[in-house]
Amino acid sequence: MGMFDEITCDYPLPDSAVQRELFQTKSLNCLMDQYTITADGRLILHKVRYEAVPEEERPYYGDPRWEENALLQLAGSLRSIPVGDVEIPYHGYIRFYTSLGKGEAREAFEYLAKFTDGRLQSLERVPEDYPDPPWASS
């Protein structure tokens, strides 16, 4: 699976069923950043900073296993604080995806957005037989 970024898309998608869904992408920095493609076709990065959470506010603090398990001590140790939105002058393609349903009823939705000088030029659904990007084989 690896690292990825997340995208919400306010720009109209070809499939209304996923218009309000959260998408993943490996086309950007893969730093777990949050982006939005706006209704007018701009790419916005929602910048955050991180701060340490005091131990007594962490989810497993006070649990009998706390002292024995360093991973439990790390859970919830950072929180993100929004610091502002930045318009990204992206130039290139962003491939993003999500799915709905489970098992046999699961349907994958994948899109390819083309940006030129920070403006969305086209957005289309990726056909099922479209070649996988280089990162998909890792």
Residue 138 has pLDDT above 50, yes or no: no
Distance CA 118, CA 132 (A): 25
What pTM was computed for the model? 0.82
Are 44 and 61 spatial neighbours (Cβ–Cβ below 8 Å)?
Answer: no
Average the pLDDT over 17-21 and give the result.
94
Name 10's Cβ contacts closer than 8 Å, sequence gap at least 6: 36, 37, 38, 39
Element (H, E) at 113: strand 107-116
What pLDDT, on the 0 to 100 scale, is given for residue 128?
75
Q: Distance (Å, rounded) from C-alpha 135 to C-alpha 105?
A: 26
> Of 14, 45, 27, whose CA–CA distance to 94 is shortest?
27
* Phi then psi dihedrals of residue 38, to 5 deg: -75, 165
pLDDT score of 132: 66
For the chain, which residues make up each domain, given as ranges?
A: 5-48+81-130
Across all residues in the chain, what is the average pLDDT? Answer: 91
